[in-house]
A and B are shown apart, each in its own frame.
Chain A
Amino acid sequence: MFWRGLEEAAGTAAFREYLEREFPRGASEWGSGLDRRQFLKLMGASMALAGLTGCVREPEEEILPYVHPTAALDPGRPLYFATAMPFGGYGRGVLVVSHMGRPTKVEGNPDHPASLGTTDPFMQASVLTLYDPERSQVIRNGEAVVTWDRFVSFMGGALRSMRARRGAGLRILTGNITSPSLLEQLGRIQAAYPEARVHAYEPAYSEEPGTPARYQFDRADVILSLDSDFVYGIPASIPYARAYMSRRLVREDRAAVNRLYVAESSPSNTGVIADHRFVVRPSQMRLFARAVANSVGGNGGVTGGLDARLQRAAEIVGRDLAAHRGSSLVVAGGRQVAEVHALARSMNEALGNVGRTVTYPSTPQGLTPSMDSLRQLVAEMAAGHVEQLVILGRNPVYDAPADLEFLKHLKRVPLRIHMGLYEDETSEHCQWHIPESHYLESWGDVRAFDGTASIIQPLIAPLYDSHTAAELCTVFLGDPARTAYEIVRAYWQERLGEESFEAAWQEALRKGVLPEQVSSTGSAETAVPVDSTAAPRDSTTRSQRGQAEAPRNGTAQEEGPGQGLEIQFKPDPTVWDGSFSSNPWLQELPKPITTLTWTNAALIAPATAEEYDVQNGDIVELAFRGRSVEAPVLVLPGQAPDTVTVHLGYGRERGGRLAAGLGFNAYALRTTDALWFGTGLQMRKTGGHIEMPVTQQHHTMEGGDQVRVGTLEEFEENPAFAQEVIGLPLVNETLYPEYSYPGYKWGMAIDLNTCIGCNACVVACQAENNIPVVGIEGVRRQREMHWIRVDAYYEGDLDEPDLYVEPVPCMHCEKAPCEVVCPVGATVHDSEGLNLMVYNRCIGTRYCSNNCPYKVRRFNFFDYTAGKPETYRMVRNPEVTVRSRGVMEKCTYCIQRIAAHKILAEEEDRRVRDGELETACQQACPTEAIVFGDLNDETSRVNRLKQSPLNYAMLGDLNTQPRTTYLARVTNPNPQLDRRKEVGSTE
């Protein structure tokens, strides 16, 4: 007990345990190169982890399971708790599965408008971040590990003088915040320190925060997306995707489908589902929008310089929109310049869509983060006006535009306090770092994109010495003893009313959403002035601005081609702005369409690749506005020529051992005047080369017909077009006997009309089935373990291809080729027709994988679960075996869920009801493209889908009789634009 450096912590039980354990966890992993900082981190970590050794701590406050209250914990039966995941400041309602107090899986909350019971990959993977051993675990002052009390007492001193100066020099930098209680806290800080300022920015939120337009995709017959990826990544992507897809359901011979035009420069998920996809360079987007507007009838403006083909397309699109007044819709992408937004709005107004398919809310909610706000802060820092800077959950040293030189100016601030999930690039340059609690271990509240408020309730007590932003605020308000729970409860007590509060509170916790009347934006929330006093200039703040204002932002785009390439920044589809850099599930998740994992790349068109004589994996130097990075090239058909798309979120230096060193930092090229687009990029081949970690190397079908597509016209002529393939065996044309499945007969149908290729199913499956991660080298060597994958194909013209996506799980073939070749009978059929994998019996010949024409079987080439951080064990689903090295594994149709529901049904003496049992991929799918059920039940949804004339078996010619079948995709092209027709006319 003579440990001088460790303050009073030395006397705690945790420290004693540390001493007794002799070696902290992970100590051996570092070997001899353990420097002082790492040693301290380890010490802290082991102390923080000490709490984990016994069993999981439940939060002290009362948390309530979703809808069905359970009096006591029923051992072995998982509970669902409703909470909400903040992402980019907006809440997405989730139901979290808790196994004996251990959150293991995130599902969507059907009652929440941003989830509708489904999820996106970020929600699915967020549970892994909770257990990330790389999260910051201790409060740090310089290099010393200190306690919260120590921080509070330090701040007490620092704030006394600050209070006296009315907060002059106190600045708070946050991301987007919609939390009503936190906003109230910030409002109170503002009141206590009138001279203090709150600044907010979001590096990657491409949809305009504040008052985004709300769309009613289900009411629109013709939709034009101007670079809007409305089905992926934005706060409303799930409900939008669902609403859109409600108009793409082709059933029997009834097909009243909408039509989607997408103009974009880099393939997105929205581009995949488009009926027509126009490849438009960023600099031409405004011209294209003008041309459409001209055609619609409005006054778009001059369109000089627009490619003749696009001009013609724009005119046809405009005519089509005009033909559907009141049931059409123009959507502008969040990254687009104000003019495009203004044009979209004016078109919607001219078409009479406002109020029908689109509404423009007037009241903003929450903060209105902007890059201007950040720029303002930097200017003040540079001027030496900032004395205390509190950074809440953001990492500006890494993700601020490079021209702001944030780090340089940060160093001039005397007191810098950082709160975040990770010790990152910013915390390294702050005197104080406070670990932030993960949403699954903290109390809070959050609003959805439409203002619906949810209470965030923790499922587990904080794993580490972490706090919430609200708790940090209490320090400034002189009430540091107040817990986040008290803050949230007190806030809502006021709104829900005193007398019936307890019942209303419990209801809110159980349902995961607050009632609408109290949900509406309160006055306190708008009271926080975000300091962006300068005129709104950047592209993230553009709401309600008219056309007159528009060109101000457009200078970069006006430069036109001829000055090098155009660069386009996009948030990464998996690690986003870098917040998920340390999440292995998301790192290994193939990015939609490119299937790239673990890194980012300079995405270029095949024509550009030819011009610069580069191939996949060649390293190029990208020089833009005096800064340069080196990046590997990935050739992407459908990318606009002379345009380079780079994804943000990579090139981390800190933020976890997993995160650092992957990819290149695109932020280093980003400037405030070219936040999303810019011209004048120089690309130079360096001669270097790396192998790109992609999970799919060939993106053409090479004559195959695994994805079957027809136009609406073709469908109406012959609804069964997908089934009429030459060489297909007749039904039951087989020499083998029929096996009967008298009980249940499970099957699956995947609707290619509604799949958006978002990969939520992939992460959901990974979380549900304890699927290991193989790392970048594993992916390079084609050993990824995902049980379901989303194939992406290009068809047609290399520059303007049709894009198709197709989720592929195990097909559970009736005549499974894999089973016949297994020498030990480790894979056999069960009485319900499932193609089982008996791990214990498997000796690892891998013959089954060879003989699987769908290649959905995965092999444990190494012991992928060994050597992984201890905390990751907590995320595992106890219902699913963790596979050992040397065995094959594959999709089981979530047999553990089948078993659980059969037991439940048996207890109640009934059959499993249709829809009650969902596989993990099905449950996650935002557009309900995956349907699973009992084929013996005549009325089951899956049976109805399989009776559709569109239903077909992939590789049906092999007569494997798969249980998983697909519904062919029906597109609705404009006859005037149909490329195939054009080709025909020239013949």
Chain B
Amino acid sequence: MIETKRDIQGDGASPGVSEGPPGPPTIERAPRLVAEGETYGSITDRIGGIPIHRPPVLWYLGLLLSAGLVLTLLTTISVLFLKGIGIWGVEIPVAWGAAIVNFVWWIGIGHAGTLISAILYLLHQSWRNSVNRLAEAMTLFAVACAAMFPILHLGRPWTFYWILPYPNQMGLWPQWRSPLVWDAFAVLTYGIISLVFWYTGLIPDLASMRDRARRRSTQRIYGLLALGWRGSALHWHRYKSVYLLLAGLATPLVVSVHSIVSLDFAVAIVPGWHSTFFPPYFVDGAIYSGFAMVLTLIIPLRKLYGLEAYITRRHLDYMAKLLLVTGLIVVYCYVIEWFFAWYGNDLYEKRVVTDWATGVYAPIYWLVVGCAVVVPQTMWFRWVRSRLLLVFFLAVLANVGMWFERFIIVITGLHRNHIASMWGVYQQTLGDYLVDFGMIGFFVFLLILFVRLFPSASMFEIKELIHRRFRRGEASESRAAVKPPSRPVGVGHAEPEHYLGSIYGLAAEFPTAEDLLHAARDVYAAGYRKMDAYTPFPVEGLSEALDLRDHRIPLIVLLGALAGGCGAFIMMSYSAVFDYPLNVGGRPLFSWPAFIPITFEMMVLFGGLAGLAGMLVLNRLPKLYHPIFSVDGFERASRDRFFLAVEAADPAFDVRETASFLERLAPLRVEIVRTWPEGGTS
């Protein structure tokens, strides 16, 4: 924190930057993670407004451009499927080319999302809250792009599913010792868990969108996607629990996925690939390029959509620093590669590193060194970090450098293989270039659709930031809440009980989380037990105050993970040892070390899925209708209002008594909640 304050000194002086507090320069004060003056409502209005309002012209331009590239990609893929991968530059000895380079690159980019979402979450880096949504979306799309390449690159792409175990007439199994099978499981798991993570994080915001939607159709779509989320305290409790567990699961997953990708290379005996330090090297490279991509996307986006209040200079400064740190690890890896070649004194390795420096690909190698080693060092300087255009440019360079780094890794080991007579040179063809750029188009296309359709920053998590600020006493929460019209809502003029349906309970509306928290404590102290609170974000201490706790989620996740892991290990052992024993490369039938990656992946996958399923089932979601929805103005429960409901099922419940009790807690109003509202469904 202290560092940050120093770093941002003189921020206001930077040209072309309009945001940030225009305070006097003598005051050393970091830009906030959320700008001053933002309220719960303004967050929802601003972020939630993007999908609802007409997009800027640039958006259409981007859509058109990226759609053009997508068409190119589709055409190229059609030709590829019709004619064969011969349209690419791959050959013998370099049988893996741009497709694998792209695969590794995209997967790498996909790492920052989960890293920001999960690891920084676990580390309580609250600044992640503003950028995680976009990073997760980026992850998802990058993984989608990445996952296409291994399929496209197959000689017979239509047989891609043979890599997975599925019941078939021939009784065939995949060959579990192959890193490609591990890879398939890892990427699949990563894709699914990223989707789960992303979607889980999106549910409350989708509810918020549902409540803000102006058209019935949009409302319905968001409503369906939100699964009937109503911000219940108990739901939030379970939600936080599963989110934490998902983050815990996703953290080793991030590390494992790129480690497994690196094993595609490290397991092979190809010189330049066969190296024990590939897993950390790849993971770090992935994070490096992922951060670079997040920066590349966020800097223009925040400008375009005016998100400067939520994605502030401080966020960007943190990320630039992270880029520098990961970049330094990359440098270390490069040095180590040379050191290994020299110290190991292996003829083949030495030939490869010499080839980097002096061979046909030397220009590319030095470009990589320039982009990924030299240029990022400028981020040591605050002056550079504070110039967003420069940071953007550096991030782009880093990504270009990382693409070519993967090119060097994939190609050079193969083209300088063990036997000099089979040395060859790989060159990309038109087919390769069309797919390279087409896939970038596809990624941008998905991203452009995403910012149009979904809230591109996590609204409820940003609200949490503000809430936390209030709790630290930095401001009064009431300032954040728009003053309500002082319309006292009594129950005195409540309808007769027999009017329509039965009474579900009583709901009291509060303007701030603090008010709600106080009220909740009072209600609990008064002996009420069947009650719930509805809030736009998880309010710390609320479920404790209401004694709404559920500890089953971790158990469910544990059971799911155990089932996945054990099941996978047993399946592999059974198929390799008993069902279809084959002499594969003279390896033992029970090659248990080779079974570990998939065991791990399946553990994470089933744990994660069980967590999501458990959370939904325990929360009785999806449930598109709930009596609480009938409360007048309840749509603000996903925006900036806080509701407390005491249910009729509570033995201590009595409409009049309870209502008057609630009135004493100084709510904005109190309302009877009926199981069937007047005038049909909402």
Known: A825-B582, A855-B417. A861 touches B156 (CB 8 A): no
CB-based nearest B residue for A793: B421
Is B585 an interface residue, CB under 8 A from the partner? yes
Is A528 an interface residue, CB under 8 A from the partner? no
Task: Note all chain B residues with C-beta closer than 8 A to A844.
Answer: 85, 154-156, 159
CB-based nearest B residue for A734: B586
Known: A782-B92, A825-B174. A860 touches B84 (CB 8 A): yes
What is the bound-complex CA distance between A857 and B155, given in angstroms?
A: 14
What is the bound-complex CA distance between A702 and B270, given in angstroms?
A: 16
Among A821, A855, A958, the residue within 8 A (CB) of B422 is A855
Task: Note all chain B residues with C-beta closer than 8 A to A782.
Answer: 91-94, 424
A848 to chain B, nearest CB (A): 9
Known: A703-B347, A824-B174, A843-B162. A958 touches B419 (CB 8 A): no
Among A696, A789, A814, A886, the residue within 8 A (CB) of B155 is A886
CB-based nearest B residue for A853: B418
Is A845 an interface residue, CB under 8 A from the partner? yes
Among A817, A842, A885, the residue within 8 A (CB) of B268 is A817
Binary contact track B58-94/A, C-beta < 8 Å → 1, others 0: 0000000000000000000000000111100111111
Contact yes or no, B583 A955, CB < 8 A: no
Is B269 an interface residue, CB under 8 A from the partner? yes
What is the bound-complex CA distance between A830 and B586, given in angstroms?
A: 11
B583-601 interface with A by 8 A CB criterion: 583-588
What is the bound-complex CA distance between A75 and B476, given in angstroms?
A: 97
Is A699 an interface residue, CB under 8 A from the partner? yes
What is the bound-complex CA distance between A849 and B95, given in angstroms?
A: 7
Is B175 an interface residue, CB under 8 A from the partner? yes
Contact yes or no, A863 B587, CB < 8 A: no
Query: Interface size of A by Cβ–Cβ distance < 8 Å?
Result: 65
B566 to chain A, nearest CB (A): 23
Among A815, A887, A958, the residue within 8 A (CB) of B585 is A815
Binary contact track A835-864/B, C-beta < 8 Å → 1, others 0: 000000111111101110111011111110
Known: A697-B424, A782-B424, A958-B269. A859 touches B92 (CB 8 A): yes
Among B86, B172, B264, B586, the residue within 8 A (CB) of A861 is B86
Is A788 an interface residue, CB under 8 A from the partner? no
Task: Note all chain A residues with C-beta closer than 8 A to B32.
Answer: none
Task: Note all chain A residues with C-beta closer than 8 A to B249.
Answer: none
What is the bound-complex CA distance between A654 and B405, given in angstroms?
A: 49
Is A706 an interface residue, CB under 8 A from the partner? yes
Is B332 an interface residue, CB under 8 A from the partner? no
Is B351 an interface residue, CB under 8 A from the partner? yes
Contact yes or no, A885 B582, CB < 8 A: no
CB-based nearest A residue for B418: A853
Contact yes or no, B92 A783, CB < 8 A: yes
Contact yes or no, A842 B156, CB < 8 A: yes
Known: A783-B92, A855-B93. A961 touches B586 (CB 8 A): yes
What is the bound-complex CA distance between A814 and B585, given in angstroms?
A: 6
Is A736 an interface residue, CB under 8 A from the partner? yes
Contact yes or no, B586 A814, CB < 8 A: yes
Contact yes or no, B154 A886, CB < 8 A: yes
CB-based nearest B residue for A817: B269
Contact yes or no, A824 B154, CB < 8 A: no
Is B267 an interface residue, CB under 8 A from the partner? yes
Contact yes or no, A819 B585, CB < 8 A: yes
Is B160 an interface residue, CB under 8 A from the partner? yes
Contact yes or no, A736 B588, CB < 8 A: yes
Contact yes or no, A820 B177, CB < 8 A: yes
B128-165 interface with A by 8 A CB criterion: 150, 153-157, 159-160, 162-163
Binary contact track A942-986/B, C-beta < 8 Å → 1, others 0: 000000000000010010010000000000000000000000000
Interface centre among B85, B180, B582, B585 (most CB of A within 10 A): B585
Main secondary structure of the interface of A (DSSP, over half): loop
Is B173 an interface residue, CB under 8 A from the partner? yes
Task: Note all chain A residues with C-beta closer than 8 A to B293.
Answer: none
Is B96 an interface residue, CB under 8 A from the partner? yes
Known: A697-B425, A862-B86. A887 touches B92 (CB 8 A): no
What is the bound-complex CA distance between A54 and B160, given in angstroms?
A: 40
Binary contact track B166-195/A, C-beta < 8 Å → 1, others 0: 000000111101111100100000000000
B571 to chain A, nearest CB (A): 15
Is B574 an interface residue, CB under 8 A from the partner? no
Among B157, B175, B419, the residue within 8 A (CB) of A791 is B419
Task: Note all chain B residues with C-beta closer than 8 A to A847.
Answer: 95-96, 178, 180, 264, 268
Contact yes or no, A860 B178, CB < 8 A: no
A861 to chain B, nearest CB (A): 3
Contact yes or no, B583 A849, CB < 8 A: no
Is B423 an interface residue, CB under 8 A from the partner? yes
Binary contact track A696-708/B, C-beta < 8 Å → 1, others 0: 1111111110100
Is B123 an interface residue, CB under 8 A from the partner? no
A621 to chain B, nearest CB (A): 28
Is B414 an interface residue, CB under 8 A from the partner? yes
Task: Note all chain B residues with C-beta closer than 8 A to A849.
Answer: 92-93, 95
What is the bound-complex CA distance between A781 and B586, given in angstroms?
A: 33
Known: A823-B178, A824-B174. A853 touches B417 (CB 8 A): yes
Among A698, A792, A825, A862, the residue within 8 A (CB) of B584 is A825
Contact yes or no, B155 A825, CB < 8 A: no
Contact yes or no, A791 B347, CB < 8 A: no
Task: Note all chain B residues with C-beta closer than 8 A to A863.
Answer: 84
Contact yes or no, A820 B422, CB < 8 A: no
What is the bound-complex CA distance between A860 and B154, given in angstroms?
A: 11
Known: A844-B154, A859-B92, A886-B154. A955 touches B584 (CB 8 A): no
Contact yes or no, A829 B418, CB < 8 A: no
CB-based nearest B residue for A828: B582
CB-based nearest B residue for A783: B91
Task: Note all chain A residues with C-beta closer than 8 A to B347.
Answer: 703-704
What is the bound-complex CA distance between A701 and B416, given in angstroms?
A: 12
Contact yes or no, B419 A736, CB < 8 A: no
Is B1 an interface residue, CB under 8 A from the partner? no
Task: Note all chain B residues with C-beta closer than 8 A to A816.
Answer: 585-586
Is B2 an interface residue, CB under 8 A from the partner? no
Contact yes or no, A886 B91, CB < 8 A: no
Is A822 an interface residue, CB under 8 A from the partner? yes
Task: Note all chain B residues with C-beta closer than 8 A to A859.
Answer: 92, 95, 155
B333 to chain A, nearest CB (A): 22
CB-based nearest A residue for B179: A821
Is A183 an interface residue, CB under 8 A from the partner? no
A and B contact pairs by CB, cutoff 8 A, 25 listed = A698-B421, A699-B420, A700-B420, A706-B419, A736-B588, A737-B588, A739-B583, A781-B91, A782-B92, A782-B93, A813-B586, A817-B585, A823-B174, A853-B269, A855-B419, A860-B155, A861-B84, A861-B90, A884-B156, A886-B84, A886-B154, A887-B155, A955-B418, A958-B269, A958-B418
Other A-B contacts than A706-B419, A855-B422, 13 sampled, CB-CB below 8 A, are A701-B420, A781-B91, A817-B268, A818-B585, A821-B268, A823-B175, A824-B175, A825-B582, A829-B583, A853-B417, A859-B92, A861-B84, A961-B586
**Residues on A close to B: CB < 8 A?**
696-704, 706, 736-737, 739, 781-783, 789, 791-793, 808, 813-825, 828-830, 841-847, 849-851, 853-855, 857-863, 884-888, 955, 958, 961
A-B pairs, 4 with minimum CB distance: A844-B155, A886-B155, A861-B86, A846-B95
